[in-house]
């Protein structure tokens, strides 16, 4: 599914617009159909994207929606710094250890991390896209915090959650400072 659930989109938009200036640098990981460009592009000017599935880049005309689009796997993508990194419906597509590494890498390269996940949602290959498979189809509020201690819940219901980067934590030691 190249799109995303509508839960809390308005809340996330308001949260980011209140918290960050228009010139904040944003990376949208797993751009899919361009959900976060469509949501935030009227306010933020500097949004780049990573999209692993090349047909999505063409089908959804992502190069016209983002300042720059990288056709690569986030597990291989190396970057310096973004003010905000958005992982919208991404980590459930990665094995636990892979997702932990990706988030750990991002944690020190951004001021804010937004991680959106569906809870207990099974999904297989869709539209010939093997990257759509959910490798963590057992996610819940409880195991999100257990698996990803660098995150804290911002918005959520029984179906979907938005997490942000937890403040005052050394993720190498996984303890509060």
Q: Residue 161 is part of a domain; what is its CATH number?
A: 3.40.50.150
Residue 21: partners with Cβ closer than 8 Å, 6 or more residues away: none
Concatenate the DSSP letters of all residues of 31-46 into one string.
-TTTHHHHHHTTT-SE
Domain presence at residue 4: no
Give, in order, the Cα–Cα distances in Å from 2 to each of 5, 22, 55, 70, 129.
10, 26, 11, 16, 10
Domain presence at residue 2: no
What's residue 176's pLDDT? 47
Cα separation, 39 vs 42, in Å, equals: 8
- pLDDT truncated to tens, each residue of the chain (177 aa)? 455 667 899 999 999 999 999 999 999 999 999 999 999 999 999 999 999 999 999 999 999 999 999 999 999 999 999 999 999 999 998 999 999 999 999 999 999 999 999 998 676 667 776 667 777 889 999 999 999 999 999 999 999 999 999 875 555 555 443
Domain presence at residue 55: yes
What's residue 167's pLDDT? 77
What's residue 135's pLDDT? 74
**Pairing mode, if any, of strands 82-88 and 110-118?**
parallel
Domain presence at residue 155: yes
Domain presence at residue 74: yes
Domain boundaries, position 69: 9-176
What's residue 142's pLDDT? 94
Domain presence at residue 108: yes
Domain presence at residue 72: yes
Domain presence at residue 1: no
What's residue 26's pLDDT? 98
Cα separation, 57 vs 112, in Å, equals: 25
Q: How many domains does the chain have?
A: 1
What's residue 4's pLDDT? 64
């Amino acid at each position: 599914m190249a799109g995303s659930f509508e839960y809390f989109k308005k809340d996330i938009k308001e949260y980011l617009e209140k918290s960050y200036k228009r010139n904040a640098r944003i990376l949208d990981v797993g751009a899919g159909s361009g959900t976060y460009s469509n949501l935030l592009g009227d306010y933020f000017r500097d949004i780049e994207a990573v999209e692993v599935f090349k047909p999505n880049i063409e089908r959804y005309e992502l190069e016209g929606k983002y300042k720059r689009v990288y056709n690569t796997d986030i597990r291989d993508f190396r970057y310096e710094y973004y003010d905000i990194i958005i992982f919208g419906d991404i980590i459930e597509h990665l094995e636990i250890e892979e997702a932990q590494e990706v988030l750990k890498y991002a944690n020190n390269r951004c001021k804010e991390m937004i991680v959106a996940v569906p809870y207990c949602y099974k999904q297989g290959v869709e539209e010939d896209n093997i990257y759509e498979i959910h490798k963590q189809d057992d996610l819940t509020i409880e195991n999100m915090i257990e698996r990803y201690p660098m995150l804290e819940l911002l918005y959520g219901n029984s179906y979907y959650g938005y997490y942000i980067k937890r403040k005052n934590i050394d993720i190498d030691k996984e303890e509060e400072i």
